[in-house]
Structure 1
């Protein structure tokens, strides 16, 4: 009993004081464990990363380990910088730098200087960024760290590009590209090519930019670098935008935005929202244009990216000019110009001058219009002078020339290799044929020719493997095809020359069993395509019954495998649906049988009490009948609702109503199913009580979630029901302390008729959450949940509010 009480107390502490428990746990963890956990959270959750890094610092201080102290301070500084706590980040980084300097750890100092450069770059101080990156470059050169040199050259190129000094930018990017290619640094090469494409794009060389971006996208997709894939999709979209291919532009922007939102990359998100808005602007869809520009400005201000704020303000000004809102356009253009001058962004300054000239011209203030046009003309001439264009063209030409030279060299080497392989194979075959011919030339000449013709006529890849030499002695033309599993062995691409078996094939089993063997393997070809083959191996034995050669051929069964997999998946899905339907029929029958029994017994008791004139008992059983009828009506309503949703007939009919009162009614309805151990804690926040939503669908959402919270909390407990009315949406939070949902069941939670494996004897048809999902989707809303076994479940519903009805 004491143990049970102890565990109950611990559970309550975990639920309500989770942060304290985490602190206790972290205090007892070693530095290495804390530092590793913190580092893993840096990109996904910088807030948690910062907390764990601070615990790691405490541990390092206790151990008085200077290196660990510096590492923790560096991670804290990086986290603060990512969270836009720039001043604190610099303090932490300075403290870390002092220790690393004392320990003479130059590579770590280079990391810190890199962050200084990024901070300066994000604030628009490009001269300071260049200064810091040059310091970092010198450290990498002294350490002979070529990867660090390549990355830093790229950083310098980007900073010069922001200053609109395109020839200098290309100089650094091509230098980075050359080093990356020399050392086989794939990521560095892709980054350099991407930045070269950026500059070509800025200089209106769209064809070259698309060519480079397509090459880069292929590299990042092979490496599965999602952030780089997102960035490349964005850049491709920008080029299509400037070539007036707006559908392609929106398609690429949308792909990039989806990845960036998933990764939590706010800077990329701001860029993409800007680009989408610009595209809608060209298409004259001003409602969408303003919507996306405002979103972009909000995100940019949140991360305090000066360049993007100024760029978005310029874009908003251009839109307002088109809509005739010249006063608003004037305010935004002047604000953008002020920021652009502060951060020395020549391209944004140029754009602001042009916009101001247009605004004053439309206001018929020709003196001001002319003044700004002159400033625009001077800046434009400086930015795009002929010398710049010529230098950039020369650099592109030099790079293309280098590429062609390397291609020619590669082709020459490849040709030499082919000649060597061909000569070697020819000599070996000639020797074998010569020896054989010497002994029984006349007798076997016809047999040999016949055998060759038979082998060449085979449509499947065929080869003869020599066990002693570990080489393929003979193969047909099909085996030499790039799609053949033997191609890499026949063309000198296999790195393991001494292997006694292919990878994979039947050789090992044939050698062991000395009999015919058939096996299936997935094979990755040289073009990285995976195919399935069925291999057949036949041994050739000598007089001592030893295997001397193996004849093997392969049958491509990829289509068969794929077809079988599709059939299997369809069968499993059909079986799953049948099981769910059977479960639904069984559950529904049970659900109706119980209330009908209650209804029948209550009617009999009313008849009995009618004779005894017991009015209070009659009223009690009449109330029971009403409750049962209401329950059955709700079940039927659920079935009809899910049927409508499946037929796409679920109607969305929003109306204005008092949400606070509505939520109170819902609570009264669901409390019928609650016990005395249940307690609903209602929290209502917002400047107004009125909203514009579909009350019928909202009732489905809240009733199902609250009744589930009661139903699946059989031992009672607190149920939190929080409603928060924001500017553009309503957020509902419902959290219980019930049995929770097993992780393996969570992916199927919103399927029709599905119920988790741990519900036991708790009644239900498996329709409630499916209806909730459909009702949320009808509002264009979002539903999220978190659950832990025996700890409870939390649902969050977000429903958007129309602009004209927002509080």
Structure 2
């Protein structure tokens, strides 16, 4: 198959060489330095579409597409000047030309060799058609996959965004439900407290009204028995009892009315200009009817020196309540002092008694509605007076506070703006 000129045989055993040459799985073409094909195995003939033996003595250009022939010639000349180089076209896109002029992709390995001082080149050629088609399909699939991945990524991002929004909406809904649930719990708690307060209130009213009314009824019945002149002291005693009980009931009713106005937000304060002495005289007059034997109220300043613009009735209510408590919780033969002072914008009232005082553990609850200290539970009272006046005073820009020592007495402080704007 492959003989050197001058009848020099490449191998001593031509048959063995031809067998090995044909056994190559790759297509093999051998050509000389003039690019004349001197040998081609059947694999080469098959991929280029030539019959057996038809490639021999043909020039290599018949296997190269016309557009590559100039470039091939330059590369070949350069290659032949450096015969020790080997060329491997793996990864390059080269093309061969079949007998029917059909181009197809190939991969070529070129190896030069010399026999008897004559140069030859052996080209190993692999048909890349199937591989290139596979690459094209793979690339096409990759493009499709990339698009699907991009589309999937976009959809995933949208889904994540929707999930985040849904999660946020769920969180907001959960918070809203918790808030509603807490409001319902608060409403139920307030309703329970209100029911407890109502029960306590009804019990309180029943007790607080029943006792004075019984005293009034008893005194009224006894008055009919004391008709003689020498019984006038007993008559006066029962008349005083009736007066005190009526005054006490009147104070309770005033507290309840004021409490209802506060709770229903119906309280409209009325601001007028008045002299303080008017309020003090009214408070002392009402208080004198409740004084125990030997008790006395001391006014330590000239009250006519002070003129206010305030709600006159609320100030009277506050002073009445504190002084009534001082009378009720102080023993006989004690004094109650009312001291008045002034700072830049406010009047300050200090009411001091020498009564039973407030236990230290109860002092923090003293302004709570219906609360009564443990040392006065057997004394008549509603436990709403201080709560009412504290609310009113704060609404008028004022404050109330106290200092107290059990069994020694109490000092209550009321501070109220002199001029209150409407």
TM-score by length of 1: 0.28
Higher percent of residues as strand = 2
TM-score by length of 2: 0.50
Larger radius of gyration: 2
| Greater relative contact order (CA < 8 Å, ≥ 6 in sequence) | 2
Higher percent of residues as helix = 1
